[in-house]
Amino acid sequence: MSIAFKSPIFDVKNLNFSASGQDILAHISLEIFHGEYIAIIGPNGGGKTTLIRLLLGLEKPTTGNIKIFGKDLKHFKEWNKIGFVPQRAAQVDQNFPATALDIVRMGRTSKRKLFSRESEEDIQAVDDAMAKMDILNLKDKMVGTLSGGQRQRVMIARALASNPEILILDEPNTGVDIVSQQNFYKLLSKLNKEENITIVFITHDIGVIADDIGRLFTINQKAIICNDPKAALSCEDMSDLYGISAHLVHNHKHEH
């Protein structure tokens, strides 16, 4: 019950977001606790990316309240604790002058003091992150020349380089082959279990979600939070789940 004494990493209360006169997210309340392993699913345009962007302060909610590590989003400063890999992160500009190492080192930028050279600790953290993602052999390769899956690993290594407490990944596995995907899930679950990193990731591959996931959020304008993902998956297939959630949203609107 140690969780009870620690405030959640994310505490979201009654979040609403509308843009161009359209409700994109409505009445979202959720909590994400230390050490959790959460998957977010939902149809295209359901608002998954938007939810993450709101959580990270990249988008302002219309109404509602977001707390990170117990602090109001506005006053939150310790962004080093959060590792974020956005959707399409792997689609880098082919000509961008960066080696894999250059990219991973970016993850240390805000930890380093002005003018300071890379410290032993910086070098070690970058090396560890690359080792965890198994990309040490790609160090000096230009990112533009890497495969989609390799680039994805580089982006995650960058997020890991600041030794975050939580890793947020927006569809990190698109364009990655099945074998790599399975390795990838193993890796996420290893990070979660062995390094105690909280993991939140958005995916469409509901079928391959590993057993390790603690909770499942279905986002389709509203959030449906499922505390036992295995039960959810066994009772309905994917299209049903999406259909039901869409239907629920519809009904809900009429109730109010």
Partner 1 sequence: MIEMLSYEFMQRAFLAGMLIAILASVSGTFVVLKRYSMISETLAHSALVGVAVALVAGYNPLWVAVVVSILSAWLIEYLRSAFALYSDAILSILLSGSLAVAVIIVSIGGEFNNSLFAYLFGSILSVSGEDIATIFIFGFIALFLLLLFSKEFYFIAYDEEVAKTSGIRVKLLNYLLVTIVAIIVALSIRIIGTLLIGALMVIPTIAALQYQVGFLRTSLLSVIFAVLSVIVGMTLSFYFSLPSGATIVLCVLSIFVLSLLINKK
Ligand X SMILES: Nc1ncnc2c1ncn2[C@@H]1O[C@H](COP(=O)(O)OP(=O)(O)OP(=O)(O)O)[C@@H](O)[C@H]1O
Binding residue for Mg ion, selected from 17, 37, 42, 49, defined by CB under 5 A: 49
DSSP state, 213?
Answer: -
Please provide residue 220's backbone torsions phi and psi, each rounded to the nearest 5 degrees. -150, 85
* Shortest separation between residue 110's beta carbon and partner 1, angstroms: 4
Q: Which range touches ligand X (CB under 6 A), out of 19-27, 77-85, 150-158, 244-252?
A: 19-27
DSSP state, 103?
Answer: H
* Shortest separation between residue 147's beta carbon and ligand X, angstroms: 22
Name 71's bridge partners.
68
The footprint of partner 1 on this chain (CB under 8 A) covers a number of residues equal to 33
Q: Is 91 in the site for partner 1 (CB under 8 A)?
A: no
Cα 128 from Cα 136, distance rounded (Å)? 9
Binding residue for partner 1, selected from 73, 136, 142, 224, defined by CB under 8 A: 142
CA 207 distance to own-chain centroid: 19
Binding residue for ligand X, selected from 2, 44, 116, 227, defined by CB under 6 A: 44
Q: Exposed, middle or buried: residue 48 (CB in 10 Å: 0-12, 13-18, 19+)?
A: buried
Binding residue for partner 1, selected from 5, 115, 194, 227, defined by CB under 8 A: 115
Binding residue for partner 1, selected from 112, 136, 195, 246, defined by CB under 8 A: 112
* Shortest separation between residue 158's beta carbon and partner 1, angstroms: 8
Q: Between 69 and 88, how does the x/- string for binding to partner 1 read (CB under 8 A)? A: --------xxxx-x-x-x--
Q: Is 110 in the site for partner 1 (CB under 8 A)?
A: yes
Report the partner that residue 45 touches, choosing among partner 1, ligand X, Mg ion, none (CB closer than 5 to 8 A by kind): ligand X
Cβ neighbours for 150, distance < 8 A, ≥ 6 positions apart: 100, 135, 138
3-class DSSP state of 11: strand
- Tokens 């996931």: give the residue: 213
- Residue type present at position 129: A
Q: Is 172 in the site for ligand X (CB under 6 A)?
A: no
Distances (CA, A) of 245 to 223, 224, 226, 242: 9, 7, 12, 5
- Tokens 């956005």: give the residue: 86
Q: Where do contacts with partner 1 occur on this chain (CB under 8 A)?
A: 56-58, 77-80, 82, 84, 86, 89, 92, 95-99, 101-103, 106-107, 109-110, 112, 114-115, 140, 142, 144-145, 158, 162
